[in-house]
Amino acid sequence: MTNTGIVYLVGAGPGAADLITLRALNCLKQADVVLYDHLANEQLLDHAAAAEQIYVGKSCGRHTMPQQEINSLLEQKARAGNTVVRLKGGDPYIFGRGGEEALHLVAAGIPFEVVPGVTAACAAAACTGIPLTHRALSSGVSLITGHVSKNRDELSAIDWRELGGGNTTLVFYMGLGNITTICSQLIAHGRAADTPVAVISSATTAAQRQVITTLEHAANAVRRAALSAPTLIIVGAVVVLQAQLAPQRNNRCGD
């Protein structure tokens, strides 16, 4: 009988191929099977050239494979004795469904390990010149989904009163299509219309672009700039520091 293998839920980092951890690279080099996401840099697959490589990516309205099938495939490949890497953009436990996959593996009795990755919020902010916290401007950060799924309206479940009434930095993932709602809700619940906003597209890559604006004008500014997903929306006073801290050589941290 074949011994059960192991699954590594690996964070690929925010986009640039050189912003992945050494631990993650070692897992890729040892992999028999790699299931990789839409936002995982495909250059990283060169480190697992001998492995079976299966694309299971999701983008807006386009899901290569339903989540339950991905869960089952992880289980199947591990039960066959393989070392399986589930390569996910950013960090596996930040809006990457890593928690769902881990729970499935626990229920199935499959050994697994989580390999953290640099999440997009931290990387996009740093590579744009925005410190997410600053002693004089923000003492906290909230990471929030800006996505509306078919099964659950996440935007309606957000506590807008809490977000609007505070002064911590807010980072919305997957919010480009709902930026008008996000900004109007924050203003309606207490954030000033002139609160600084950064909208960052394709962070840390050669394609990175950003718009620095305010809550009141963000939706129109993004339309004029024709930004495209993946994007992050950063809201808060710390965004004003971008004018001083913008990278001097380029707009990205990696290659």
Report the range of poorest mean pLDDT among 1-15, 56-70, 72-86, 118-132. Answer: 56-70
CA distance 12 to 17: 8
Portions of the chain given CATH number 3.40.1010.10: 6-115
Tokens of 245: 């801290």
Give per-residue pLDDT as tens, 89-140: 999 999 989 999 999 999 999 999 999 999 999 999 999 999 999 999 999 9
Q: 174: left (phi > 0), else alpha (psi -120 to 50), else beta?
A: left
Q: Which of 202, 219, 212 is nearest to 244 (CA)?
A: 212
Q: Reply yes or no on whether the pLDDT at 1 is more than 60.
A: no
DSSP codes of every residue in 57-110:
-EETTEESS-HHHHHHHHHHHHHTT-EEEEEESB-TTSSSSHHHHHHHHHHHT-
Q: Say how far apart CA 133 and CA 124 lie, in whole Å.
A: 14
- The fraction of the chain above a pLDDT of 90, given in percent, is 87
Query: CATH 3.30.950.10 residue ranges in the chain?
Result: 120-245
Tell me if 23 sits within 8 A of 48, measured CB to CB: no
Please give the model's pTM, rounded to 2 decimal places.
0.92
Which residues carry out catalysis?
Answer: 37, 58
Q: What is the CATH number of domain 120-245?
A: 3.30.950.10
Domain 6-115 CATH assignment equals 3.90.180.10: no
pLDDT tens-digit map of 137-173: 999 999 999 986 555 566 778 999 999 998 899 999 9
